[in-house]
Amino acid sequence: MKPIERLRALDAEAKLVEHIGAMLGWDQETYMPSAAIDERSDQLALMESLTHDMATSPEIGSILAELGSNAEAPGGPESLPTIDRAYLRVMRRKFDQATKLPSELVSEMAKATSLSQAAWVQARKDDDYRAFAPHLSKMLEFNKTVAACLDPGKRPYDVLLDQFEEGAIEAQVASVFSALRDDLVSLLDRILGGPQVDDSFLRRNCPAAAQAKASAYFMKALAFDATRGRLDTTAHPFTTTLGGSDVRITTRYVEEYFPSSVFSTIHETGHALYELGLDPSPDYRRTSLAEASSMAIHESQSRLWENTVGRSLGFWLHHLPALRQMLSPVLDGVGLEDFYRAINKVEPSLIRTEADEVTYSLHVILRFELEGALVSGDLSVDDLPGAWNDGMKRLLGVVPTDDAHGCLQDIHWSMGSFGYFPSYALGNLYGAQWWDAMKAQGLDPKSAVEQGNLGSILSWLRTNIHKPGAIYKPGELVEHVTGNALDPSHFVRYLNDKYAGVYGF
């Protein structure tokens, strides 16, 4: 066995264990009886420690050292095919991330994170930011330490950002977001200056069983392969990968707001299609190269299907009759245009996860600005609520009356995730850029959607985005596929065109 083959075999075994952990986690959220939680936590911890042992095995270290230090020799990276070199990049990165943190730090962090999350749950319930603040400070300190361990030569936030968006740096994201922010704020102003949309019929009571039928219908419409995954229900929708041909998604059925399940199912199906399409080459199945390029690229898939496709007029031209029938009589008397406007209603609100396409990225940009300032020390933990409220006023024109609906709303910081938020908005930008690339490459995605021919869109995404997996860093992928760097103008143009139609200006 060549060293790189042995590396793939070790990697594939670690991935098996990781998928077993995902199975345990999936069951915990879907079907596990409540009293099983104690032993389940121990089962998960055991699988995590096994994954960690496998990811940090000295044998992986020596294969990487051998291939890395021997660049000119036969078998060294320079003589390897591109795909093998990409794989070595991915494995070095993983190995570094797993080995550079002292194990005491990892275990201290795990304990502190668990306390922090519990404190966050309580603080949000009590609307008591002060009770959570010490935990947030600790999470910040841990993150700075992690950044220093991983790469002491780089700015801490850049190191954290890189964990989710390989190769990204704060200054560059800030410049992209700054242009985007101004364009979004001005679009929002125009929208709010005119007559508003009536979406009251979306709140008609709609039984879960009818919504479940619709969810199954839309998964099929998106060509989701039912032999390679399934849909279940949970309190918070998610996608999880239990195997190369086993991706599970979940949704929830809110009887007073059926669009919640329709669009969350389409969103999660978008994530699942990406996971199921990762296939850089037969040799690399079940390896870390058959993984997403980044969280933002993942989000570009879910949001492209949910919004660009799923909230388009053409999509409902094709699918509204079926939805009307499945949800009958909920949509009786609701025409296509009214339905389209209602599901695209723009309204500044306090909660990110409920935001429309225009305001969503503004929520994300606020979080990016604040977490960058927290990590750099420009913003103190004590001053976060004030800064949050100021930012909401500035970007969205609304101010939360309490921190529970303000800076305590998201789980991310409580679990020590700094640098993750930008992915959500970057996903929108990548998605719009893919859409324009399809057009530039001769596909007519708009007509395809109108004709219910989503297969042609999926096929383009499969070839260009899904298949390469982690061969390209996200910045390389966008260059490779579109010939250009990430460019927010695609998204801004898309929104301006769309909302000019929705709001008639």
Any idea what the Cα angle at residue 42 is, between residues 41 and 45, rounded to 5°?
A: 85
Cα dist. 448→96, 443, 444 in Å? Answer: 44, 9, 6
Q: Does 24 bind its own copies (CB under 8 A)?
A: yes
C-alpha span between 17 and 409 (Å, rounded): 33
82, with CB counted inside 10 A (0-12, 13-18, 19+), is exposed
Active-site annotation, residues: 268
AA identity, residue 210: A
Residue 280, helix vs strand vs coil: coil
* Residue number, 244 or 406, with CB nearest to its own copies: 244
Q: Which of 46, 65, 106, 118 is the binder for its own copies (CB under 8 A)?
A: 46
Stretch that binds its own copies, among 10-18, 181-189, 204-212, 407-415 (CB under 8 A): 10-18
Q: Which two tokens stand for residue 189?
A: 């102003």
Count other Cβ atoms within 10 Å, centred on residue 199: 17
Question: Tell me, what DSSP letter sits at residue 69?
Answer: S
Candidates 270, 451, 258; CA nearest to 342 is 258
* Residue number, 32 or 185, with CB nearest to its own copies: 32
Least Å distance, CB 213 to its own copies, is 16
Candidates 332, 335, 305; CA nearest to 448 is 305
Q: Which residues partner with 239 through β-bridges? A: 249
Least Å distance, CB 415 to its own copies, is 24
Stretch that binds its own copies, among 39-47, 145-153, 256-264, 356-364 (CB under 8 A): 39-47
Count other Cβ atoms within 10 Å, centred on residue 290: 23
Q: Does 59 bind its own copies (CB under 8 A)?
A: no
Stretch that binds its own copies, among 18-26, 85-93, 208-216, 259-267 (CB under 8 A): 18-26
Q: Does 227 bind its own copies (CB under 8 A)?
A: yes
Least Å distance, CB 239 to its own copies, is 14
Contact yes or no for 352/409 (Cβ under 8 A): yes
Element (H, E) at 242: strand 239-243
* Residue number, 136 or 272, with CB nearest to its own copies: 272
Least Å distance, CB 84 to its own copies, is 23
Site string for its own copies, 187-206 (x = CB under 8 A): --------------------
Least Å distance, CB 246 to its own copies, is 4
Contact yes or no for 427/274 (Cβ under 8 A): no
* Residue number, 285 or 345, with CB nearest to its own copies: 285
Contact yes or no for 167/426 (Cβ under 8 A): no
Q: Which of 5, 6, 36, 141 is the binder for its own copies (CB under 8 A)?
A: 36
C-alpha span between 281 and 466 (Å, rounded): 12
Cα dist. 25→21, 32, 164 in Å? Answer: 6, 9, 21
Q: Does 234 bind its own copies (CB under 8 A)?
A: no
Q: Which of 128, 232, 283, 347 is the binder for its own copies (CB under 8 A)?
A: 232
Stretch that binds its own copies, among 165-173, 226-234, 298-306, 334-342 (CB under 8 A): 226-234
Least Å distance, CB 232 to its own copies, is 8
Q: Which residues partner with 240 through β-bridges? A: 248
Stretch that binds its own copies, among 43-51, 161-169, 171-179, 472-480 (CB under 8 A): 43-51
Phi and psi dihedrals of 413, rounded to 5? -65, -35
Q: Does 9 bind its own copies (CB under 8 A)?
A: no
Q: Does 320 bind its own copies (CB under 8 A)?
A: no
Contact yes or no for 364/425 (Cβ under 8 A): yes
Q: Does 230 bind its own copies (CB under 8 A)?
A: yes
Contacts 24+ apart (CB under 8 A), 67-72: 67/3, 67/4, 67/7, 68/92
Q: Does 242 bind its own copies (CB under 8 A)?
A: yes
Cα four-point dihedral sign 270, 242, 224, 258:
negative
Q: Does 282 bind its own copies (CB under 8 A)?
A: no
Q: Which of 60, 197, 206, 229 is the binder for its own copies (CB under 8 A)?
A: 229
Element (H, E) at 249: strand 246-251
Q: Does 85 bind its own copies (CB under 8 A)?
A: no
Residues 324-353 within binding reach of its own copies (CB under 8 A): none
AA identity, residue 337: E
* Residue number, 47 or 309, with CB nearest to its own copies: 47
* Residue number, 270 or 385, with CB nearest to its own copies: 270
Q: Does 244 bind its own copies (CB under 8 A)?
A: yes
Stretch that binds its own copies, among 209-217, 221-229, 367-375, 441-449 (CB under 8 A): 221-229
* Residue number, 30 or 464, with CB nearest to its own copies: 30
* Residue number, 38 or 104, with CB nearest to its own copies: 38
Q: Which of 43, 56, 234, 489 is the binder for its own copies (CB under 8 A)?
A: 43
Count other Cβ atoms within 10 Å, centred on residue 380: 12
Binding interface with its own copies (CB under 8 A):
13, 16-17, 19-20, 23-24, 27, 31-36, 38-40, 42-43, 46-47, 225-230, 232, 242-246, 286
